[in-house]
Amino acid sequence: EYLHSSADHINLVTKVSTPSQKRCRAFSAELNAPAEWLKRDLNGKRLVCDDDIAELAEKYQVNELVVKYQLVNHNLAAVL
């Protein structure tokens, strides 16, 4: 998404969190680290630490925040 400043310059929106941006981020997270796959990889584990998140992020080649958000947003595990 773009915004026009008063000088009519187009700037990328980076700090604004519109509903459209939230949907795009959720779609991207699900595409890159599907909740069902993460659930399978957790193998019933309900508490995860930073090392667990790092391993999953490496496996899916995504940022650790993507894994953390997926785990929390889909109620897959609590993060220590």
Distance (Å, rounded) from C-alpha 44 to C-alpha 35? 13
Distance (Å, rounded) from C-alpha 62 to C-alpha 29? 9
User: Per-residue pLDDT tens for 17-35?
Assistant: 788 888 999 999 999 999 9
**In terms of residues, how long is the chain?**
80
User: Per-residue pLDDT tens for 23-69?
Assistant: 999 999 999 999 999 999 999 999 999 999 999 999 999 999 999 99
Evaluated on CA atoms 28, 31, 35, 41, the torsion sign reads negative
Three-state SS for 30?
A: helix
**Residue 16: per-residue pLDDT:** 63
Q: Would you place residue 15 in the very low, low, confident or very high pLDDT band (cuts 50, 70, 90)?
A: low
Q: What is the pTM of this model?
A: 0.77
Cα dist from 19 to 1, 70, 77, whole Å = 11, 18, 25
Q: What are the residue ranges spanned by the domains of the chain?
A: 2-79
